[in-house]
Amino acid sequence: MVFGSSANLSRRIVLLSGWLIGCVGFVANAAETTTPLVDRDLVAAVESIRVEDLKTHISTLASDALQGREAGRTGGHAASAYLMQQLRRHAVAPAAADQQFAQEFAGGMRNILASVPGHDAQLRDEVVIVCAHFDHVGFGTPRNSRGPIGYVHNGADDNASGVASLLEIVEAVRKLPRPPRRTLLFAFWDGEEKGLLGSKHWITSPTRPLSQIKLVINADMIGRLRPEGVEVTGTRAARGLRHFVADANSATFAPRLRLDFTWDMRADSDHHPFFAAGIPALMLHTGKHDDYHRPSDDADKLNYEGTQQLARLMLLLALQTAEADELPAFRIKSRGETKDQQRLIEQPLPSPAPRLGITWSSQLSEQRIVEIIQIAPESPAAAAGFRIGDRIEHFAGHAVSDAADFRSLVVIADRDVTATVQRPGRSEPLTLSVRLTGEPTRHGLTWRTDDAEPDSVILTQVTPHSPAALAGLKPLDRIHTFGGHSATSEHLSRATTSLPLPITVTFERDGSISTTSITTASVAVKRDRAAIIERP
């Protein structure tokens, strides 16, 4: 990663049986058939990405013998030789000029390029690039090192981790019974640390027409996975890219990662020259750390299991996008979108005002008793004549069995209701008429649409204690389907007033797609009704 920069669907393809249409043989011009690539083929490819192999590649690339892999120097050349050796071992086709792996450019630098031609006669001329830069900063300089300089900067995370993952992806693709529909171009960039020189050179001297490049997937520093997850840059560069990434991350046969989608699109790695050229580009990144651009970025500090998970995600994403019937075009609006705009837009709306205006004893609520200990002035409760010490026994026609049920009843109740209370000093219950604030909510959802995320809506508010809240939905969840249909704003507006409960909802949160059910929020619901989220 470049020193000094911050790291910041109708076309949905589920990676299950039948999502790939097969052909006989792993040859670009082989005749197409309808033989599907079944789950076991995908599972075998995913499982072929092993921690042991990643360790072998990274320990080689990040060894002192390669002298920090500086572009154009002996160590960089040695790293490129290792890459070409591995590509030959997997019998993958060279993709530079004159059937060579190396694309030479200024200062003795060289990109290493290989491809797996697509098998679909209609789509094989379209290309998905999967890439990582293999150079690092050598012994370091005051410009590119955080010190001390004069020592080998091995760059295990930056970016032996991405390169090793890319080598494993190449091998995994070669294990499939047939290639994907589109061509996969595997690019190992040189000169990234000197200013993205390798990817910029390829843009000016492409080995495939730029018009054929439909998507770029870049891995830079993916060796330090931490609980906060993986930063994903670029999903707004084309409509629906976030959905593609979430689908790949939600495959049943690969672990789910927590994904942090950022609007930032900085010139800090090799995805950016493609973005600048109007080509959708993604980058995966596990974040900077104290060893960044220091001699201490060594192989023994990596999270290899995390790197394996990232490599497997990249494999599934590459296959998914290479198999899609259509890939989205570049979204021009993404050029002007910033992280500051994201922070502003993604602020959830405040919760609605309380409808009743009371507080009850938390201690007694543990005994399933709702006893009022405070009444807000000029609230509906005050106007109805509630008093401190009243115990609420019935509300809106339902017996109050506990505080949780009572909260939900208040949320969904009509404006005009009755409540029965047991008041201290009275032998008989007292019935009160109440006019609640605001309108009842059937589900408790408010949403907005986003041009970058078609066929879904983004929740801006989930009313506390509402059916949606009890189903486990939260602000910023992306609703993909609602009651079995794509969650367009128009469909939700109709469905939230007409569809009978329960309603099945699929949603994405932090890059993971899940399913839940919105059901009624009343005493008729079992006490364990709160969100049991099923993961496909």
Provide mean pLDDT across the span 365-372: 93
Comparing 24-33, 186-195, 224-233, the range with the smallest average pLDDT is 24-33
Report pLDDT for 69.
Answer: 98
pLDDT band at 404 (very low <50, low <70, confident <90, very high): confident
Nearest C-alpha neighbor of 442 from the set 530, 519, 527, 353: 519
Same domain? 458 vs 429: no
**Complete DSSP assignment for 468-521:** HHHTT--TT-EEEEETTEE--HHHHHHHHHHSPSPEEEEEEETTEEEEEEE---
Q: Is the pLDDT of residue 299 over 70?
A: yes
Model confidence pLDDT, tens digit, residues 71-80: 999 999 999 9
Buried b (16+ CB within 10 A) or exposed e, 495-523: bbeebeeebebbbbbbbbbbebbbbebbb
Please indicate, yes or no, if residue 222 is contained in any of the structural domains.
yes
**Domain edge (last residue) among 300, 325, 350:** 325
Quick check: is 24 in a domain? Answer: no
- Domain range enclosing 493: 443-518
Domain tally, the chain = 3
Which residue from 315, 320, 1 is spatially nearest to 168, judged by alpha carbons?
315
Query: Looking at the structure, do residues 279 and 193 belong to the same domain, yes or no?
Result: yes
Question: Is residue 403 pLDDT above 80, yes or no?
Answer: yes
When the pLDDT of each residue in the chain is averaged and rounded to a whole number, the result is 90
Residues 498 and 382 in one domain: no
Element (H, E) at 284: strand 281-285
pLDDT at 196: 98
pLDDT at 7: 36
Q: CA distances (Å), 179 to each of 28, 118, 119, 176, 266, in order?
A: 8, 6, 6, 7, 33
pLDDT on residue 142? 96
Average pLDDT over residues 215-227: 98
pLDDT at residue number 22: 34
Instruction: Identify whether residues 301 and 249 lie together within a single domain.
Output: yes
Is 346 a domain residue? Answer: no
Are residue 49 and residue 66 in the same domain, yes or no?
Answer: yes
Query: Is it the case that residue 383 has pLDDT exceeding 50?
Result: yes
Mapped onto helix, strand or coil, the DSSP state of residue 293 is coil
Residue 230, domain member (yes or no): yes
Looking at this protein, which amino acid is placed at residue 44?
A: A
Instruction: Over range 507-536, report the average pLDDT.
Output: 64
Specify whether 391 is located in the same domain as 506: no
Share of the chain above pLDDT 70, in %: 90
Residue-level pLDDT at 525: 40
Q: Which among 523, 524, 506, 437 has a CA at the least distance from the CA of 14?
A: 506
Mean pLDDT of 355-383: 95
Whether residues 281 and 401 share a domain: the answer is: no
Q: What is the pLDDT of residue 349?
A: 84
Cα dihedral 499/503/506/507 (nearest 10): 80
DSSP states along 239-277: TTHHHHHHHHHT-TTS----EEEE----SSSTTHHHHHT
In this predicted structure, the answer to whether residue 8 has a pLDDT above a threshold of 90 is no
Residue 33 pLDDT > 50, yes or no?
Answer: no
pLDDT at 31: 41
Query: Residue 318: inside a domain, yes or no?
Result: yes
pLDDT digits (tens, 9 = 90+) for 482-496: 999 999 999 999 988
Looking up residue 146, the CATH number of its domain turns out to be 3.40.630.10
**In angstroms, rounded to a whole number, what is the distance separating the alpha carbons of residues 360 and 78?**
72
Is 332's pLDDT higher than 80? Answer: yes
Query: For residue 95, is it within any domain?
Result: yes
Give the global pTM: 0.88
- Residue 30, domain member (yes or no): no
Please say if the pLDDT value at position 284 is more than 70.
Answer: yes
Tokens 């150079």 sit at which residue?
A: 135
Q: What is the pLDDT of residue 490?
A: 92
pLDDT at 497: 84
Q: What integer pLDDT is reported at residue 34 of this predicted model?
A: 37
pLDDT, tens only, 121-160: 999 999 999 999 999 999 999 999 999 999 999 999 999 9
Of the candidates 105, 60, 330, 341, which has an alpha carbon nearest to the alpha carbon of residue 200?
105
207 and 298 in a single domain? The answer is yes
Q: Per mean pLDDT, which of 206-215, 252-261, 519-528 is the most reliable?
A: 206-215
- Boundary-marking domain end, from 435, 458, 484: 435
Answer yes or no: do 294 and 422 share one domain.
no
275 residue type, one letter:
F
The CATH number linked to 429 is: 2.30.42.10
DSSP type of residue 136: B
Q: Tokens for 39?
A: 């789950």
Residues 447, 429 share a domain:
no
Average pLDDT over every residue of 335-357: 91
Q: How far apart are CA 531 and CA 536, in angstroms?
A: 15
Whether residue 428 is found in the same domain as residue 506: no
In a domain, 253, yes or no: yes
373 and 260 both lie in a single domain: no
Task: Write the pLDDT tens digit of every residue in 224-276.
Answer: 999 999 999 999 999 999 999 999 999 888 779 999 999 999 999 999 999 99
User: What's the pLDDT band for 17 if we cut at 50, 70, 90?
Assistant: very low
Residue ending a domain, among 325, 341, 368, is 325
